Amino acid sequence: MHDTIYLASQSPRRRQLLDQLGVRHELLLPDDGEDAEALEAVLPGELPGPYVQRVTGLKLAAARARWKRRGLPERPLLAADTTVALGRRILGKPADAAEARAMLQALSGRTHRVLTAVALWTGRRTLAALSDSRVHVAPLPAAAIERYVASGEPFGKAGAYAIQGPFAGWISHIAGSHSGIMGLPLHETAEILRQARVSF
C-alpha cells in the first residue's frame, strides 16, 4: 500500500481535485531546463483521443526521468493532460488574445468534447484511463467574449476557457465528467489509484 503519490502537473486544479479525493501527493515539477510545453505539440493529422493519450504518456515518461535523476523514493507517479476538441480539430492553449477570441467564437453555440487522459506509473506497470465529455456552450455575444479575453482567464487553458470560472455561466449542458473537464476525472483516477493500492 502507498499513502502518497507524486503528481507531475503544474495545474492547481489537479491538486485541488486530488485533495477532494483525499489523496496525499507531492509535486514532481519540471526542472528549469525542461520544456514541458513542447510535449504538447500536435502531430499532423492527429485525432484528439490519440493525441491526449500520447501527450500524457510523454509527460509521464518525462516525470519518471526526473524522478530517477533526483534519486527520490519510489512512489506511484500520476500524469494527466486535457484537450478540447471541436470535431477533429484540437483546441490547445491560446497563444494570444486573437487566438483566444477565435477559439471562443468557434465554441459559441456549439457542442464540443473535452478529453482528459490519466496515467499512473506504479513502479512496475502503467495504468491509464481516458475521460471523454461533451460540453454545450450557449451563443456568446461578442462583448462577452471580449470581456472574458480581457480578464486573462483563457490563457494557459485548453480551448481558452475554464469551467470552474465565470465561463460556467455560458455552459448550458454537460454530458460526462465535470472533474474531467476541470482536468482530472475523479472516478477514473480513483479507479486506477485503487488498482495501484494507493490508500485514500
Convert the pLDDT of each residue in 113-167 to its tens digit: 999 999 999 999 999 999 999 999 999 999 999 999 999 999 999 999 999 999 9
Query: For the chain, what is the domain count?
Result: 1
CA distances from 170 to 35, 58, 131, 163 (A): 34, 33, 22, 9
Catalytic residue among 3, 19, 32, 81: 81
Assess whether pLDDT exceeds 80 at residue 103: yes
pLDDT in tens, 7-27: 999 899 999 999 999 999 999
200 domain residue, yes or no: no
Question: Could you list the residue range(s) of the whole structural domain that residue 133 is in?
Answer: 4-195
Neighbours of 2 (CB within 10 A): 17
* DSSP state letters, 20-70: HHT-EEEE-PPPTT--GGGGGPPPTT--HHHHHHHHHHHHHHHHHHHHHHH
In contact, 108 and 171? CB cutoff 8 Å: no
pTM score: 0.93
Q: For residue 174, with 0-12 CB atoms within 10 Å meaning exposed, 13-18 middle and 19 or more buried, which class applies?
A: middle
Q: Tell me what pLDDT residue 200 has.
A: 93
The Cα 94–Cα 112 span in angstroms is 17
Per the annotation, the verdict on 81 as an active-site residue is: yes
35 domain residue, yes or no: yes
Neighbours of 44 (CB within 10 A): 4
The Cα 70–Cα 88 span in angstroms is 39
Q: Tell me what pLDDT residue 145 has.
A: 97
The whole-number average pLDDT for the span 52-75 is 96
Instruction: Enter the C-alpha cell of residue 161.
Output: 476557457
149 domain residue, yes or no: yes
The CATH number of the domain where 67 resides is what? 3.90.950.10
The one-letter amino acid code at 69 reads R
